[in-house]
Amino acid sequence: MSNTGPRTQGGRPEPEGPTGAPAGPGPAFVQAPSASLYFEPTFGMNAAKILPGEYFVTEQEVVLITLLGSCVAACVRDAEMRIGGMNHFLLPDNHGQDPTGAAPARYGAYAMEVMINQLVKMGARRHRLQAKVFGGANVLRGLNERNVGVRNSEFVVDFLRVEGIPLMAHDLGGTQARKVAYFPATGEARVKRLATQMPATLLETEQQYRRRVSSGPTAGSVELFE
């Protein structure tokens, strides 16, 4: 497998904020820990897989691939610079501790802001960013709160609206898991809804991630670069 190269962002143990310090405490949300690409024969090009709790930003001609159940993925790019990225996250459970939902929203904002900041660090301009978002299906069993997929979907759409980032396309909600392939250089996105029941491995991965982010302290905020 080949490395992504010096300006592809991956493999760092912890995202950095505007000052170079860690972006915030709390549940891990990191750049994809493996900076290696693999050849994806479906698309005839190198690819990187994005797992729950990860994001990946690149300027290379690659495809970013993820599997989504209740989680959401935001695909954000600067079309002029041909730099883009993908994240994969969900909001932590509130456990009824905060009726306003502010604490889970802070983690969601953190998941978006660290990726946007990395785009800007690599040369993107915030006023040129565009987004496509996917996921948020109702696939996790045994929920005590309002459907987590709905909350994830509503959060990411609202975040983009508040931050003034145009939403160019979306495929959210429903009851089916999705496989998403995103091409940051061109902005193309391909979505395949899985006709069968959500794969057991994906279900377990999302449940483990949900437990992890819901049991730890909520991440602090990260100031967006202009």
The pLDDT tens digits of the residues spanning 173-211 come to: 998 999 999 999 999 999 999 876 666 777 677 777 767
**pLDDT (0 to 100) of residue 193:** 93
Q: Is residue 138 part of a domain?
A: yes
Q: What is the CATH number of the domain that holds 55?
A: 3.30.1330.200
Is 96 part of any domain? yes
Q: Is the pTM of this model over 0.85?
A: no
Within a domain: 221: no
pLDDT tens, 58-86? 999 999 999 999 999 999 999 999 999 99
User: If you average pLDDT over every residue of the chain, what do you get?
Assistant: 78
Q: Which of 69, 4, 2, 59 is nearest to 32 (CA)?
A: 4
* Within-domain flag for 223: no
Residue 224 maps to a domain: no
Q: What is the predicted pLDDT for the residue at 214?
A: 63
| 177 located within any domain | yes
Is 48 inside any structural domain?
yes
Domain containing 53 equals 2-14+23-215
Q: How many domains does the chain have?
A: 1
- List active site positions: 71
DSSP 145-173: SS-HHHHHHHHHHHHHHHHT--EEEEEE-
Residue 119 lies in a domain: yes
Cβ atoms within 10 A of the Cβ of 161, count? Answer: 11
